[in-house]
């Protein structure tokens, strides 16, 4: 088995976000009542743009059902860790400055008074130079679409995750 590189389809990820921002895809459990649905939704968008999961137990990034999923599929912290350290199958990316973001990338938000990042919206549009006023996002939990990042209140910090690509296995 060999790993091959594929492009991340940002357009498909954003289309998925726009389609499901105010609804729930019945294929996935809605985690809103048990801690929040934001990273579940972010993972769904990412999957729509890449179509490859990493089924490594515990440390991968996958969703089969409510009771059979990787922590990285639904946890803000583990999502970041998986994407920024993944050397195997599935999506991979890196932390970037705000100037490097594109639609289909992700923002994680640390709110004031919280030591951890606790929200993961997907960037759906840039309406001008990349700054919080011109970055529009979609997210679940408090469902939003086309929301300027600047409208989030009590933010301690943003971190930006750029998706570089997708790896998949081939028989070559």
pLDDT in tens, 89-148: 999 999 999 999 999 999 999 999 999 999 999 999 999 999 999 999 999 999 999 999
Q: What are phi and psi of 90, to 5 degrees?
A: 105, -175
Mean pLDDT of the chain: 97
- Comparing CA positions, the residue from 68, 23, 64 lying closest to residue 47 is 64
Residue 172 has pLDDT above 90, yes or no: no
Q: How many Å apart are CA 6 and CA 150, to the nearest integer?
A: 33
- Comparing CA positions, the residue from 164, 66, 83, 69 lying closest to residue 117 is 83
pLDDT for 148 = 98
Its pTM stands at 0.97
Split at pLDDT 50, 70, 90, the class of 171 is confident
pLDDT for 1 = 78
Q: How many Å apart are CA 114 and CA 147, to the nearest integer?
A: 22
**Residue 35: helix, strand or coil by DSSP?**
coil
């Amino acid at each position: 088995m060999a790993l091959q590189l594929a492009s991340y389809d940002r357009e498909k990820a954003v289309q998925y976000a726009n389609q499901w921002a105010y609804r729930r895809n019945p294929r996935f459990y809605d985690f809103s009542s048990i801690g929040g649905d934001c990273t579940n939704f972010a993972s769904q968008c990412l999957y729509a743009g890449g179509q490859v999961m990493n089924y490594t137990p515990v440390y991968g990034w996958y969703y089969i059902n409510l009771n059979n999923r990787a922590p990285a599929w639904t946890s803000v912290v583990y999502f970041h860790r998986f994407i920024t350290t993944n050397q195997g199958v599935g999506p991979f990316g890196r932390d970037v400055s705000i100037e490097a973001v594109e639609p289909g990338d992700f923002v994680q938000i640390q709110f004031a008074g919280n030591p951890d990042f606790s929200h993961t919206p997907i960037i759906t549009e840039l309406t001008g130079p990349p700054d919080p006023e011109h970055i529009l996002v979609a997210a679940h939990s408090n469902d939003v679409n086309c929301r300027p990042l600047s409208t989030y209140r009590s933010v301690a910090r943003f971190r930006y995750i750029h998706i570089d690509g997708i790896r998949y296995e081939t028989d070559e």
